[in-house]
A and B are shown apart, each in its own frame.
Chain A
Amino acid sequence: MTVFCGIPAPRHDWTILGLHDMVEITITRRAAGSYSSTSGEYTEAASSTSTTEAIVYPAGGEDLKRLPEARRTEETLVVFAADLLRTARAGDAGHQADVLSGLPSPWDANSWEIVNVRSWPGAAFGYEALAQRMGQ
């Protein structure tokens, strides 16, 4: 596997990326909420924020194949992050997906929801996530 600056790069041409592409982004982590037993409505729990170093670029065709077909037409970014990024989880202790903000221009005006994550153990940027613009 090709490694650039500790970043696993199985497919991407990392020669066009460098450490200057690293940015500090904000992760909003939403804790497990609950459904009301009387109204059946979901109430979100408090969320927390943290920051992490990341590299961000637009998703390509191969990246989009990791998503369900219905979501492949939405604006999607690839985010390599140093810290864990979470997708939504169903069932016990179910929670909503992490939301990213503070991304570099031209994506800085929106919030981005994590829809897919895979990990590269041992790599400096060990979490490779797909994030989609919220409100699409």
Chain B
Amino acid sequence: MTYAAPIARSTIKAAMVAWCRRATGLTTIWAKQDSPQPTTSYVSLEWIGGPKRTGRDAHESATDLTRAVAVAITPVAADTTTYTVTINGTGYSYMSGVGATVGSICAGIAPAITATGYTATNHTTHVDLRKNDGTVFILTVSPTANLTWTNTDEGHEVQTQTSGPRTLTLSINVFAAAGTDADAIMDLIEASIGDPDEVEARRVAGIGFHGTAGVNDLTFIAGPRFVGRKQLDVFCSVAFNLTTDRGYVETIAIDSTDLGWSGEEFGV
């Protein structure tokens, strides 16, 4: 398995682009793409530092209820409805007819699940689905109002959720067209950092600013003229959140008449 992205990069990148566009009204791009330079004036953004760990991460255990070894899938009868069972991202569907019953839907769903390495058995009231090698699979169903499933293996995939703060450094560069004042453009960006609406927009996107390195002049000569360029590095804070599956833990139920317990569950 691979981990899910721990930082919502696309969300915070879009927020940074939106902010610079609001502040300057200029085309704002991410630097170092294999692409032509836009028409000046424009703003480019680049992550030049981080993520840097600050402090300790927190760990929390949870249960991944989407992962199972064996399940019972139970439909609620509905006419002309597409029932979809999705196993590890691949969907298997059955569409009910008019006058559908739970039995007819079970009879339709079971053969529709043709995934290799799985066994789907029609029990009239529900469909048993099991992965033949006994390992874990990820299951989703739809429509959720008409199709539910329960774990029949009495086990659970245990997750660890690790979260903590990280810092990133965002480099903002203004490239000014001839006759345009790069300072004036950068002033708009710098001044808008503390605007309450911008602070709120960053909060919604999951990013905060905690300082800047000050504006630098990087004006350079390109052929016969100067290109006004100003740079501002902004120190950002983001939330890091990594979810990992630790393994499938089965539970068993035993009767212990000696101790007077019945049906006690133990993790093994």
Contacts and interface: CB of A to CB of B under 8 A. Distances in A.
Interface of A: 32-33, 35, 37-42, 44, 88-92, 94-96
A39 B17 contact: yes
Interface residues of B, number: 20
A89 B36 contact: yes
B45 interface: yes
Nearest to B31: A40
A-B complex: 4 closest residue pairs judged by Cβ atoms:
A94-B36, A42-B35, A90-B37, A40-B17
30 contacts: A33-B36, A35-B29, A35-B35, A37-B27, A38-B14, A38-B17, A38-B18, A39-B13, A39-B14, A39-B17, A39-B30, A40-B17, A40-B28, A42-B33, A42-B34, A42-B36, A88-B36, A90-B36, A90-B38, A90-B39, A91-B36, A91-B38, A91-B39, A94-B36, A94-B37, A94-B39, A95-B36, A96-B34, A96-B35, A96-B36
Contacts of A33: 35-36
B116 interface: no
Nearest to A95: B36
Interface of B: 10, 13-14, 16-18, 21, 27-30, 33-40, 45
A39 to B, nearest CB: 6
Contact of A41 (B18, B27, B33, B39): B33
A41 B36 contact: no
Contact of B38 (A35, A39, A41, A95): A35
A96 to B, nearest CB: 6
B37 A35 contact: no
Contact of B37 (A38, A39, A91): A91
B109 to A, nearest CB: 40
Contacts of A90: 36-39
